[in-house]
Structure 1
């Protein structure tokens, strides 16, 4: 995916995360790590997702090498899937591509997306999500309005059916212009507007 331009600081702090204190619903504990480069959201999200299955976590650089991540193109969906399947082989990782690439989910696609989230979280299986944030458009809570399009990988590791929201663990968090918390809740109505290309469940 495209380079995450706005990332200003490189941090490598690792935190084991469940849900914020106010959260309800089902959550999965994962190990968060800040992405080591602006273009490294794919390997960082892979690392977060596989931490639900193993505590023996590879370095982002090793994941990036395996996934073919580059500073010019980031990591595409098929290579993120390849990394997830390699490092967490006991889980099943399926790519869903939107019918309208770059556009919003259709009503049916959104229903399937919500169903996949709920079932996966119940099964303790996080999802790798590609979000696309446009200037002036929908964006995750705590994000500044970007000056250009941001194409980014995050992980969904929680679902609250009552509040109709998902818990997102974001490798860009704590960086300038992003949420200060490693994990935060996002309304499904907002997430539907951010998933413009693909997700892996």
Structure 2
């Protein structure tokens, strides 16, 4: 189904845990509003939670993605299903396996080149638009060195998972639901260019 839909769209147009991540429960703000009607913008409704241990970014990001499909599991349940340990969730393919087990659709996309090739960047943007337009958030496995951090990250290399829940094609930005909540930054916008540079040499589920 996924490959057929992707073909139609084209025709028409592991890893370590977050180090010292904060421990918290659910976001007091709760649910992210759906489908804000701004020019070129599409944002999905999700149920956001902060990761509940320093090594549950994978389960938390997976939970956020599933919540957009109306599926709610605890982080502990998903950690068991993912095979997450105190060393984190080793590989993005573990996330893909769990997501696709619930809702189908998902495939693992590797981005081994750092910086990514233009073909990898083009595929990532196409996946962002295709996934969000069909109500399937993307879970990304990132490596963020000190010179390339999302907002609020501490000043060292962070190995992490977060969820892409929206995009704006008028300014090429993506909306992130970040379970780490570094500096209280939970849901925020990044440029697509920064997202593309954060994922290598890991990958994403889309």
Q: What TM-score does the superposition give when structure 2 sets the normalisation length?
A: 0.84
Distance between the aligned counterparts of 2:52 and 2:154, measured in 1? 22
Distance between the aligned counterparts of 1:28 and 1:20, measured in 2? 6
Q: Does residue 160 of structure 2 align to residue 155 of structure 1?
A: no
Q: Does residue 108 of structure 2 align to residue 95 of structure 1?
A: yes
Given the alignment, which residue of 10, 20, 39 partners 2:23? Answer: 10
Equivalent residues of 2:172, 2:191 under 8 A apart: yes
Distance between the aligned counterparts of 1:73 and 1:53, measured in 2? 25
Equivalent residues of 1:20, 1:183 under 8 A apart: no
Partner of 2:153: 144
Distance between the aligned counterparts of 2:176 and 2:38, measured in 1? 12
Q: Does residue 76 of structure 2 align to residue 72 of structure 1?
A: no
Map 1:45-194 onto structure 2 (within 5 A).
45-54=61-70, 56-86=71-101, 88-89=102-103, 91-100=104-113, 103-135=114-146, 137-140=147-150, 142-147=151-156, 149-173=157-181, 178-194=182-198
What do you get for the CA RMSD once the two structures are aligned? 2.0
Equivalent residues of 2:69, 2:135 under 8 A apart: no
Equivalent residues of 1:10, 1:37 under 8 A apart: yes
Which of the pair is proportionally richer in helix? 2
Distance between the aligned counterparts of 2:159 and 2:203, measured in 1? 11
Equivalent residues of 2:140, 2:204 under 8 A apart: yes
Equivalent residues of 1:133, 1:194 under 8 A apart: yes
The Cα of 1:74 is off from its aligned counterpart by: 2.9
User: Does the C-alpha gap of structure 1 residues 164 and 179 become closer, same or farther in structure 2, counting only changes over 3 Å?
Assistant: farther
Question: How many equivalent pairs are there?
Answer: 188
Unaligned runs of 5+ in 2: 1-14
Q: 37-46 or 114-123: which moved more?
A: 114-123
Q: Does residue 49 of structure 2 align to residue 38 of structure 1?
A: no
Q: 182-191 or 75-84: which moved more?
A: 75-84
